[in-house]
Amino acid sequence: MSDSQWLPLESNPDVINKFVAKLGLKPTWQFTDVYGLDPDLLCIVPQPVCALLLLFPCSEKYHEYATTEVTRLEKEGQHLDSSVFFMKQTIGNACGTIGLLHAISNNKDSLDLDDGYFKTFIEKTASMTSAERGAYLEGDESISAAHEESANEGQSEVPSERDSVNLHFVALVQKNGHIYELDGRKPFPINHGPTTPESFLQNGAEVCKKFMARDPSELHFTIMALSQM
């Protein structure tokens, strides 16, 4: 992680949809709140859903689990589809924008993208490594300015760039029959098992439940779905 710091994004569909529209996502797909993970509440989420953005607290329990998980996967290996778009996070508090880039880039063939930042980013970074993509983002002043503008539009009090923020965004996407957790602070994507476009929301909800179960006393979990409207 470099010394670069951005303001954190708020997990707020109104703010996020305005942000992604500026970057080139047409409003046929939008982010919506997931109000709960029970079947009755998942049923009200507009479908199809092609990605989930999970915001969760980075507790000591989470860090311990994440370290153990990465060590285990480095030893045992996992199936990683070569078409999964993944990038490293080198900028503090950039996890919201990186989550959006993961969600959009891995669904570029399904989404309606205007000429704009998303399309340019995907094209320019297609052949880069995950580290090179992170460095490209860090050097791009246009996206940092757009991120800061959106960060200032939320309903919550905006912390300074140097404030310690204990919340983190990750993206969940479906790619060729598997569900992947994409977290730019980890060395690689995490395969969470089989899924289909039709069952992705339910399977993604089960992954989110595992995050919550590791910190049952924490309340600061929010989920947004990228849905076709």
How do strand 167-175 and strand 222-228 relate by DSSP bridges?
A: unpaired
Helix residue ranges per DSSP H, the chain: 13-22, 39-42, 60-76, 95-105, 117-125, 130-138, 141-151, 200-214
d(CA 48, CA 142) in angstroms, rounded, equals: 31
Residue 97 identity: T
d(CA 121, CA 101) in angstroms, rounded, equals: 9
Catalytic residues: 95, 168
